[in-house]
Structure 1
């Protein structure tokens, strides 16, 4: 799992009655985007160090793709990954 500051991390509830949690990654501990991450949790507003488990997944917002061959800079600016 590789993240960037600003990505959203979602942790699914693993048992009935345990709600899903989500938060925004506010800091990385490693330049390559590997865990752990500092996450600001939506439900509490607190920031904590987080090591994602198998019940976690990322949503990458606004991360640019590599420009496709033959596209100029103006066209390449409009390529994003969801």
Structure 2
């Protein structure tokens, strides 16, 4: 998994009753963009250091089209 600051990270629910969590990557610890990541969670505003597992995915922000 490779990420950049500003990307969103989504953690899908791993167990019945768990909720999906969405956060924004605020810092990376490796120059190659690999984990762990510092993430600010959108649901509570807390910042944590995470090592994403198989339930995680990264979404890069959409780049606006030029000339429109």
Q: TM-score, normalised by structure 1?
A: 0.74
> Which residue is equivalent to 1:24?
24
Instruction: Give the root-mean-square deviation of aligned CA atoms.
Output: 1.4
Shift of 1:36: 0.2
Length, aligned pairs only: 65
Structure 1 unaligned regions, length at least 5:
64-76
Q: Greater Rg, structure 1 or structure 2?
A: 1
d(CA) in 2 for partners of 1:22, 1:2:
17
Q: How does 1:36-75 map to 2 (within 5 A)?
A: 36-62=36-62
> Which residue is equivalent to 2:7?
7
* Bigger relative contact order, structure 1 or 2 (CA pairs below 8 A, ≥6 apart): 2
Structure 2 unaligned regions, length at least 5:
none
Regions of 4+ moved over 4 Å: none
